[in-house]
Amino acid sequence: MAIGIYDSGLGGLSVWRELRQQTSARLLYFGDTCHVPYGEKTQAQLEGYFWEIAGFFLRQGCQAIVVACNTSSALVLPQVEGRLEIPVFGIIESAVDAVLGVSKGSVGVLATRGTADSGAYQRAFLASAPEMKVFVQSAPRLVPLVESGQVSSQEARQVVKEYLDPLLAEGIDTLLLGCTHYPFLHDLIAELAGPSVVIVDPAPALAAQVAGVFPEWKPGSQGKDTGYNTQFWVSGDPHTFKTTAELLLKEELPAVAFYHMSGEKT
């Protein structure tokens, strides 16, 4: 049993680190680093990346795909639903459920430009909790900071503050990290948001949803150590990815391999 997880780069590791605790299935992580940031791409570009990466996962024997990316979940999943024979998991529903479990009625969503402009979170909250006040803030400068490992720099502090201030002015009680890169800025965001705002990282909820579909692969049930049952692939420079991933995760990773993606690069 193998599960493929992908994102534009390092962000999906916030989902991977949860999923590996909850399943003993083999995991394949793909960081499409030659196309990061996904938040600035068109729906057609993102759909092209999806099919290419899904093809790679299928050839590797994956029996499920986790789109560990809010932008692709928002813009691609509605287009591809039901077109693959294996389950494909997105993050939007898990994120909304996680917020509804803790919010008192006013949520701020920090997201990429692509996710914010898609209206996916606005629609998802309207469908599940029409009374919820939802404020979506596009935060395009955060992904490059995480990709370069600058999660506690002075610049990161200034940029996070700039994006948080309008949401805090609305009196939000909950802040959804609506991009899988942002959990790596969690400490800074929590400090600047203050103690009255609950921060929601949807990764544990998504990991639980995926693991719940494959109960026979519960950790321990196959007698395997789940720790490094993962192969890492990137479409950009493997060394840069590995070095920054280790910095963010505070642990060593196994070797990262290169996979050539066709089409234009950024």
* Catalytic residue check, 179: yes
Reported for 50-59, long-range contacts at CB under 8 A and 24+ positions apart, including other chains, are 50/76, 50/80, 51/80, 52/261, 52/262, 52/263, 53/4, 53/6, 53/261, 54/4, 54/84, 54/88, 56/4, 56/30, 56/233, 56/259, 57/4, 57/6, 57/28, 57/30, 58/84, 58/86
* Cα–Cα dist 159/139, whole Å: 9
- Collapse the DSSP code of 111 into the 3-class scheme (helix H, G, I; strand E, B; otherwise coil) and give the result: strand
Instruction: Give yes or no for residue 245 binding ligand DGL (CB under 6 A).
Output: no
Among 98, 110, 143, 167, binds ligand DGL (CB under 6 A): 143
Instruction: Give yes or no for residue 24 binding ligand DGL (CB under 6 A).
Output: no
Q: Show the tokens assigned to 68.
A: 């560990």
Task: Select 95 or 172, whichever has its Cβ closest to ligand DGL.
Answer: 95
Q: Which of 69, 96, 110, 159 is catalytic?
A: 69
* Cα–Cα dist 50/46, whole Å: 6
Residue owning tokens 């979170």: 121
Task: Select 23 or 112, whichever has its Cβ closest to ligand DGL.
Answer: 112
Task: Select 142 or 256, whichever has its Cβ closest to ligand DGL.
Answer: 142
Task: Select 24 or 112, whichever has its Cβ closest to ligand DGL.
Answer: 112
Of residues 85-124, those binding ligand DGL (CB under 6 A)? 112, 115
- Would you say the C-alpha torsion 206, 177, 258, 43 has a positive or negative sign? positive
State the nearest-atom distance from the C-beta of 140 to ligand DGL, in Å.
Answer: 8
State the nearest-atom distance from the C-beta of 225 to ligand DGL, in Å.
Answer: 28
Instruction: Give yes or no for residue 138 binding ligand DGL (CB under 6 A).
Output: no
Of residues 26-45, those binding ligand DGL (CB under 6 A)? 36-39
* Catalytic residue check, 62: no
- List residues near ligand DGL by CB under 6 A: 7-8, 11, 36-39, 69-71, 112, 115, 143, 179-181
Active-site residue list = 69, 179
